[in-house]
Every structure is written in C-alpha cells, then in structure tokens.
Amino acid sequence: MKKTPKKTYTAEFKAKVVLQAISMQHTAEAIAKANGINKTQVNLWRNVIRDNAPTLFVKGKIDLIDNRQSIIEKQQAVIGHLTLENMQLKKSATIPMDCNHPTLSITTQCKLYSINCSTVYYKPAGESKENLEIMHILDEQYMQTPFFGVRRLYCTLVELGYHVNVKRIRRLMQLVGVGLQYPIQSH
C-alpha cells in the first residue's frame, strides 16, 4: 500500500476557511466539501482561532516576535559552530581521533563521527600464551602437511596435550593465514 504524502496548506488558505467557518453561513461539512478538505480539519482550525483570538490584539505581541527572532539567531550561531566542527573533522577523516585536540573533546568527536566512545577507549586483548603456542604448532604442521584439515589438526593438538575445540582451531588458523590445500578438479 502506497502512502500518500502529507498535505500542507498555506496560511492564507487556512484563514479563508476559518473565516467561512466563523461566519456560520455554511456548515463545516459544506465548507470542507467546497475546499476539498475534511470537516474535522475545518473544526480544528476554527477552534485554534477561537482559543487564540484574545492574544491577537495584545500590545506585547511584537516583543514576542522579536524574542523569537533572537532565539532563532542564537540557534543559527550554534548551527554554524557545529558545521565548522563537522567540516574540520571531515577534512581530517583519514586521521584517527585526536585525544589531545585543543577544542574538541573525545565525546564531541565521537558524536560527529557517529561512533560510540567505547570504541575509542577499547584496547583489544592480545592472544594468550597458549594460543600463541598453538598458532606456532599450526604453522609448523601446515609446512609439513598442508593437506591437513581442521579435524586432523584437532587430533594432532589433542595428542600433544592441548585442550582445544574445532572452532578455536578454525579461528587460530584464520589468524595465522593457514588454509587447507587440496587439488581442484578440472572439468
């Protein structure tokens, strides 16, 4: 099912419909049908005007508009600052994050790159001594018998007294860069 885009109406159109509804010459249903909108929308717009009518004639209304303008200017200044920060980081996208950056904290840099702070601080743990020994044995065994698969290597390691499983051997073989070699059938 295809979604229809949300309809937007101009302020002039809304004012025209509300003035017709307030005049009470026609029903909300007739006004809605004449303007091609739903009668609920007509009633909603009419209620908005009825509820806010007293504020239309307040003298301080101009001050309210000026206050809004100053808020908008402040927000635009913040947006400009963030845009500059973003441009600066995009220029240095190939450079890893600078933990000693003079103006941008690590948290800000992470937000701009859309990454988690933990990824910056995380230091991966190295392989254990046992894993390094097993990787050395796998490498040596591969040089002697490159046709040994994971199961045969498992049996070899168990005979040597290591407590391993097939998944661990596969992972360590990938780290060492060892793979099973076998003849390819030609058709």
**Last residue within a domain, chosen from 121, 137, 161:** 121
Residue 41: inside a domain: yes
Residue 4: inside a domain: no
Question: Does residue 138 share a domain with residue 114?
Answer: no
| Burial (CB count <10 Å: 0-12, 13-18, 19+), residue 113 | middle
Question: Does residue 117 share a domain with residue 66?
Answer: yes
Question: Does residue 139 share a domain with residue 88?
Answer: no
Residue 3: inside a domain: no
Residue 97: inside a domain: yes
Average pLDDT, the chain: 80
Helices (H), 10-164: 11-23, 28-35, 39-52, 61-91, 106-113, 117-121, 129-144, 150-159
How many other CB atoms are found less than 10 A from the CB of residue 28? 19
Write the DSSP assignment of 90-109 as a string of letters: HHTTTSPP-TT-SS--HHHH
Residue bearing the bigger pLDDT, 166 or 103: 166
Q: What is the pLDDT confidence band of residue 59, given thresholds at 50, 70 and 90? A: low
| Domain total in the chain | 3
**What range does the domain containing 20 cover?**
11-57
| Burial (CB count <10 Å: 0-12, 13-18, 19+), residue 26 | middle
Q: What is the pLDDT confidence band of residue 95, given thresholds at 50, 70 and 90? A: very low
Residue 183: inside a domain: no
Q: What is the pLDDT confidence band of residue 94, given thresholds at 50, 70 and 90? A: very low
Residue bearing the bigger pLDDT, 86 or 20: 20
Q: What is the pLDDT confidence band of residue 1, given thresholds at 50, 70 and 90? A: low
- SS3 label, residue 186: coil
Q: What is the pLDDT confidence band of residue 168, given thresholds at 50, 70 and 90? A: very high
Cα–Cα dist 156/177, whole Å: 19
